[in-house]
Amino acid sequence: MTLKQEYVAFLKDIVGPERVSTEYIDRVFYSKDLSMDPTELPGAVVLPKTVDEIIKIVKFANKNKIPIYVRGRGSGLFGFKVKEDSIVLVLSGMNKILNIDKKHLTVTTETGAVWLAVNSMLWKQGYELTAQWHGGAISSTLGGAVMANTVARTSEDGTAFGETVVSLEVVLPNSQVIRTGSAANPKSIPFERYTLGPDLAGLFIGSAGSFGILTKVSLKIRRKQDVTEYLSFRFRDYYDAINAVIEIEQRNLIQFGIILIGDFSDDTVCALRIVLTGDFNNIMYKKKLTESICISHNGEPDNPEYVKNFWETYYYSWLRGRDTRQYYIWASEPYFCPEVYGYFPFEQLPKIYDVILDEWNHNPDIKKYKGILKGVDTFITPNGGFVWFDPLFPKLDPEAVEFGLQFRNRMFDIFMELGGCPSTMSSATSKLILSKTGYTYEFMKLLKKTIDPNNILNPGVLFPEEL
């Protein structure tokens, strides 16, 4: 059902008639992300352009007890869904780059600014985002990256995405606007995160839009690196690859590293793809030392062409040398990917690899539903690894879709049991994951009840629809 006509008219008065839609096609399109999780249809889709418009919409929603779901470009595979008769607030039109502060090395943008567009503007001036870069770089928004606590493709100290957030501007569920860090002082600018009381930015990073609507974000930038080099090694044992990675990370040598498992024609167990950046004075030192570490742990040098193509074109399929057009199409049949992911300490990585592969090779239903293992990939972080397990199942087979979503949830349960810590939460997985954290989850729900007593912001995404 669409919203009442008087509600729609009120929303059009706020943002203009051209930025409110109750058309069926728009309500379908904006009701979910790229996942196959079921959803309901919202009552209206609204595209605000200003903070003032958002404030008025939040007041209206509170008064009439209408749920609001906040959306960027919907490029995730996490299981975002909405309730019937809700408002979907699409922020992709709020995409201005507001300020590039070269003195304090920050960039401030509106929430809908696209990752790659911001970086491209910075590159022209000799700078770049400190967190380089993440899976949706071509299409996803910086606001979405904050709310999802996205995993940047970077292995350097201090470059995890959340660590690069300096300040946020947020419209709270009560329609009040706050700014975090130094920007909370009206006389100051966004240059320091950890000041003026508690670290409020941390409350919103990874909150899936449940605590407030992000309208502006200030991120750390740095001078663009002069030189990029690439390395690739094959290993016949998980432990050798992980020990090499530990030594590399202790020396903070690489920009990005990823362990790839599966899909090798010989007796290779895993591959380590590496990106190194620096200046002309240190790049060869980094490269030679990284090479010697990998070789000392029985790594066999491999052609780095795949990782080079991946880094320069943003197409993930290049890491395995696959045709990008085949990524989700197999034998002319479309497939979907119910992703499973989580941070693990180094010592747990071999265990989770063994469990994933054992499950994949011995669960008869995977063969029954024509499952394909796209890959088990581990982004190297300073403290461990972020494991992406990407199974594929036929998208047009309802039974295969249902099994794939159930399989995802089962694997998230296994990840948690083995000490894994998923980052991005969604309607489909948050209760399953966060309920295992004990009173930590109860404390989160207490915060939600306090700042959003009507539960209008993203109900059912991070927390139950009924608190």
List pLDDT tens digits, range 62-106.
999 999 999 988 877 788 889 999 999 999 999 999 999 999 999
User: Looking at residue 87, what is its pLDDT?
Assistant: 98
Computed over every residue of the chain, the mean pLDDT equals: 93
Of 187, 178, 169, the residue nearest 110 (C-alpha): 169
Pairing of strands 177-179, 165-171: antiparallel
> In a 10 Å sphere around its CB, with 0-12 CB exposed, 13-18 middle and 19+ buried, how is residue 230 labelled?
buried
Angle at CA 249, nearest 5°, toward 142 and 270?
90
pLDDT digits (tens, 9 = 90+) for 10-69: 999 999 999 999 999 999 999 988 888 999 999 999 999 999 999 999 999 999 999 999
Place of tokens 């059009």: 12
User: Looking at residue 134, what is its pLDDT?
Assistant: 64
Half-sphere exposure of 404 (CA within 13 A, CB side): 29
The pLDDT confidence band at residue 321, using thresholds 50, 70 and 90, is: confident
User: Looking at residue 244, what is its pLDDT?
Assistant: 97
The pLDDT confidence band at residue 160, using thresholds 50, 70 and 90, is: confident
Put simply, whether the predicted model's pTM sits higher than 0.85 gets the answer yes
What's phi and psi for 390, nearest 5 deg?
Answer: -115, 90
What is the distance between the alpha carbons of residues 273 and 245, in angstroms, rounded to a whole number?
11
What is the distance between the alpha carbons of residues 258 and 387, in angstroms, rounded to a whole number?
10
- DSSP per-residue string spanning 133-188: --TTTTT-BHHHHHHHT---S--STT-SGGGGEEEEEEE-TTS-EEE-GGGGSTTS
Integer-rounded Cα Rg, in Å, for the chain is 22
What is the distance between the alpha carbons of residues 390 and 404, in angstroms, rounded to a whole number?
11
Tokens of 69: 């779901």
